[in-house]
A = this chain, B = another copy of it.
């Protein structure tokens, strides 16, 4: 059911039937460590290169999500998946053996929100019994793609975030899960002219603020409607920017906002500066802390907003701005 300008309230809200998460060692040592299904001690995951390592994370997360949902790849009608690498090669090589009809997605670090939105539409619309949404990132493949060779050992400013090594996957379907997707709000590209690729939180915050406002308007609710509003990977600087931008709109989210990039690493013992980032960041936090809090009934309803910074090495080198995008998903305890 269309709701406002950019939102949908599902008639038959798809349930999350199972989730799977795999992360690297650093993430495993962080505050969410005990919650992940698997922690890979080897950053190469036994593969020949970083890209293949990320593909391996995808393969494993998909297998674990299927296992936890009690089904097989043959039960999944559509797969909605993506990663940060050029031409989605982590996805192409990580998921090909599943042999599931695939819609490849790119929304930068908002990809898990985009994937959940479309996967939920496919189930609610009656186009599928079960779908899978998946997103991954890998610190080393992302550094290689977007920044410098690891061996160069470049200095990172305090506004920089650390790309999460990890993949999260969820199986959606009709039926009998404990958490359902009640609705979605789909983001548009928002560009306030930020150009600093080492401060992606600031680049993405305007898109996140735009999404929050659109969601509140479309569903005609106040922030209290949600127990938490959870962004993907704004980090500490992006969080401050988001809260300030919303305050200008008369919306106070202080205390009710959580950011996956802030949750995933311990600022005291894990030096990541502004926090974690990457599509994997929000995907694995969803599959662990967010689903657990909902399942255990600590939260009744949250607005989950993976946030993406739309840049490439080429656009950065050409002096372009960094537009942002964000996709909102309303998760409810059944």
- Could you tell me which A residues sit within 8 Å of B by CB distance? 1-2, 6, 8, 48-49, 51-52, 77-78, 82, 84-89, 92-93, 95-96, 98-108, 114, 117-118, 121-122, 124-129, 145, 186-189, 191, 310-315, 318, 320, 323, 325
B103 adjacent to A318 (CB under 8 Å): no
Query: What is the minimal beta-carbon distance from A18 to any residue of chain B, in angstroms?
Result: 21
Alpha-carbon gap, A318 to B191, bound state (A)? 35
A102 contact set on B, CB distance < 8 A:
186-189, 325
Alpha-carbon gap, A104 to B145, bound state (A)? 19
Given A2-B127, A105-B105, A125-B125, also A315-B89 (CB < 8 A): yes
A88 adjacent to B106 (CB under 8 Å): yes
Alpha-carbon gap, A127 to B8, bound state (A)? 7
Which of B101, B124, B314, B315 sits near A187, CB closer than 8 Å? B101
Alpha-carbon gap, A103 to B127, bound state (A)? 18
A126 adjacent to B1 (CB under 8 Å): yes
Jot down 13 A-B pairs with beta carbons below 8 A, ordered by A.
A49-B318, A51-B315, A51-B318, A87-B315, A88-B106, A89-B312, A89-B320, A92-B323, A96-B188, A98-B188, A100-B188, A103-B107, A124-B125
Given A77-B6, A189-B95, A189-B102, also A312-B107 (CB < 8 A): no
A145 contact set on B, CB distance < 8 A:
86, 314
A93 contact set on B, CB distance < 8 A:
315, 320, 323
Which residue from chain B places its CB closest to the CB of A108 in the assembled complex? B87
Query: What is the minimal beta-carbon distance from A43 to any residue of chain B, in angstroms?
Result: 17
Query: What is the minimal beta-carbon distance from A114 to any residue of chain B, in angstroms?
Result: 6
A96 contact set on B, CB distance < 8 A:
188-189, 191, 323
